[in-house]
Structure 1
Amino acid sequence: MNSDRVDPAELAVLRAAFATDDGAEAPLGWEAVEAFEAEHGIALPEPYRTFVAEIADGSSSGPPEYGLLSLARLPDDWGDDQRARDLSKPFPLTATWLWEDDEDPAPDTDERLEQVCNDGSIVLGTDGCAMNWHLIVTGPHRGHGWQISDVGAVPFGAQFGFTTAEPGFGGWVRQWAARRAWYDAA
């Protein structure tokens, strides 16, 4: 996974996955993507960066279950009680954290939870019930996808043991497209 340079083969897979997607939003274009990056002090990881600039800025048909959000949006159930998001601060995790299983939580657990939800990631969408998919934009896991819910945070990709899919945005979309094709054929 290279989050700094787009792989033409990976981009071809993304184009194919959304070629017949009636729910796909128009792409933002490079000027809007670069303006977003400048505003937030980040560089979006590839292939997501090229995806939103040239292919689609979200899709009502997914992935995930309730659709792929536009670049600057948050899920409807996000809530107003969280602190401001800061995409330029590094995402704080590099391994699964199930805070629901913490028998003796650290004194800074609440602050760390705020960081997990608000620092260094954009929200790709939701599977419902506050199970949100994030794309990490800063920190050691830049380019990786994570599912963050009310019980914990789990990285996406075969190397983390929770799926056989490749990590990152491209692997996440490929898994969704394969599942969608399987259901369509059934």
Structure 2
Amino acid sequence: MNTEHADPRDLAAIRAAFATANGGGPALGWDAVRAFEAVHGVVLPEPYRTVVAEVADGSAAGPPRYGLVGLAELPDDWGAGRPERDLGRPFPLTGPWVWEDDPRPSAEVDPVLDQVFDHGSVVLGTEGCGVYWHLVVTGPHRGHVWYVGGEGAAPFGAEFGSSTAEPGFAGWVRHWAAGGPWFSG
């Protein structure tokens, strides 16, 4: 997984997947992507960066189930009253975490939980019922796609045991385009 340079094969597969997805927003163009990055103090990982600039800024027909939201958007079911998201602060996790089973007191868990939802990732979309897909843009898992739900969070990809797919945005899109289950963990 190369987060610095878009692989032409990945881009071709992603373009093909989004060509069949109806209702996508037009690509933002490079100036708008760079402006977003400057405001948030990040550089988006490839190939997502190129997709948003050149292919589409969102898609009504997945992935995920309710569509890929635009770069600067949040899903309609995103919690009201959540703190402002800070993409420049690192995403805190590097492995799965089921906070619902965490034995620590909530005073220790809650601050990290807020970071999982609000630091270092763009929200790609929702599966509904409080289940979101995030693309990590800052931190050790930069470029990985994460499932974040009400009970816990886990990285997507075969190396993490959550699917048979490659990790990262390209693997996530390929998995969706092939009709794979959204999560098998």
**TM score, norm. by length of structure 1:** 0.94
Q: Deviations over 1:62-114 (max 9, x none)?
A: 10001000001111121222211100000000000001112344632111110
Distance 2:70 2:104 in 1: 38
> 5 Å matches for 1:135-174?
135-174=135-174
Match of residue 39 from structure 1: 39
Look up the SS of the partner of 2:88 in the other structure.
coil
Gaps of 5+ in 1: 181-186
Match of residue 177 from structure 1: 177
Amino acid at match of 2:52: V
Distance 2:108 2:86 in 1: 19
Query: Which contiguous aligned blocks of 4+ residues in structure 1 show a shift greater than 4 angstroms?
Result: none
Q: What is the RMSD computed on CA atoms of the aligned residues?
A: 1.1
Look up the SS of the partner of 1:139 in the other structure.
coil
Distance 2:110 2:53 in 1: 35
Match of residue 183 from structure 1: none
Distance 1:105 1:117 in 2: 19
Distance 1:78 1:21 in 2: 23
Gaps of 5+ in 2: 181-185
Distance 1:41 1:72 in 2: 14
Match of residue 102 from structure 2: 102
Aligned length: 180
Contact 2:21 2:62 in 1 (8 A): no
Match of residue 25 from structure 1: 25
CA positional deviation for 1:53: 0.4
Distance 1:143 1:82 in 2: 24
CA positional deviation for 1:131: 0.3
Look up the SS of the partner of 1:117 in the other structure.
helix
Q: Percent identity?
A: 62
Match of residue 183 from structure 2: none
Match of residue 64 from structure 2: 64
Q: Deviations over 1:42-70 (max 9, x none)?
A: 00000000000000000010100010000
Look up the SS of the partner of 1:179 in the other structure.
coil
Match of residue 88 from structure 1: 88
Distance 2:54 2:69 in 1: 16
**Residue 76 (structure 1) aligned with residue 51 (structure 2):** no
Distance 2:72 2:14 in 1: 20
